[in-house]
Amino acid sequence: MFGFINVYKPKGKTSHDVVAVLRRVTKIKQIGHTGTLDPFAEGVLPICIGKATRLIEYLNDDKAYVATIQFGKSTTTYDLEGEGVNFSDSRVGLAEIEKYLENFRGEIEQLPPIYSAIKVNGKKLYEYARKGEDVEIKPRKVTINELKVVNFNEETQQLELYIDCSKGTYIRSIANDLGEMAGVYGHLIKLVRVKAGNFLVENSIALEEFQTKEIVCDNLIYPLEYLDYPKYELSENEKVKVANGNSILLNCEDGLTLLTYAKTLAAVAEISHGKAIMQKVFL
């Protein structure tokens, strides 16, 4: 079995839970996910099965989310699972929100939540937080490609945002920082990932539907469909060399190229000055 599965991760399950379910159903150990989703979050979770796990690093890793923010309170974790820290009876309007959102578009510096899995000096930030230890958190550069209001309920002070962003963006931090900017505090109460690279929520399949190995097989996505790199079809002679891990000469532009044989993935190669050096071979 070789390919990707576009799974809809339900709320309350971890990314590792999803992998465990598919391992149990398929009896295949070589299964991995392409990006962690918090347990309270739901949505698209691309899964790689078999040798496709070797392709995770080549997948487009931009993400898109629909996030619901509740104004009036900030929490320790920046989401609904944390303890309340700051409270406000003030209210904010849509015009003000639109103004503050300008600060989050494009390349920005973001301070990750203290309750996150980022490592500092070999320890995860949440380990420091749980022990009440101080630690310096350095801001990280992320890119917000698109940010727009989906809905705003002025009465309940709930804001729904569509956020298309680079890998490593913390949506919880956006909720917290936007609330602080507006002077009303805020935290994330719902998060749905609607896109992960080329994997879209409308094409995802609920985890509970994967009851048998046959169902998994029926929903496998062949890797060539979702890898955004130039492709080169090998001749029989070139295929033999590639199968042995040898470099070959190709009239192709420099950069990563997918080498195919009989329209199936044979290898991933790095081309430099006409020489294709094998990175991963699947023959």
Answer yes or no: 38 catalytic.
yes
Q: Which residues contact 17 (CB under 8 A, 6 or more apart)?
A: none
CA dihedral 206, 211, 216, 218 (to 10 degrees): -90
Q: Which of 154, 25, 137, 32 is nearest to 91 (CA)?
A: 154
* 217: phi then psi, degrees, rounded to nearest 5: -60, -40
Q: Show Cβ contacts of residue 171 under 8 Å, excluding neighbours closer than 6 positions.
A: 65, 67, 163, 165, 188, 191
Question: DSSP secondary-structure letter at 184?
Answer: S
Selecting among 17, 38, 89, 177, the annotated active-site residue is 38
Closest alpha carbon to 43 in 204, 151, 198: 204
Q: How far is CA 86 from the centre of its chain?
A: 30
Closest CA to 44 of 3, 4, 6: 6
Looking at the annotation, which residues are catalytic? 38
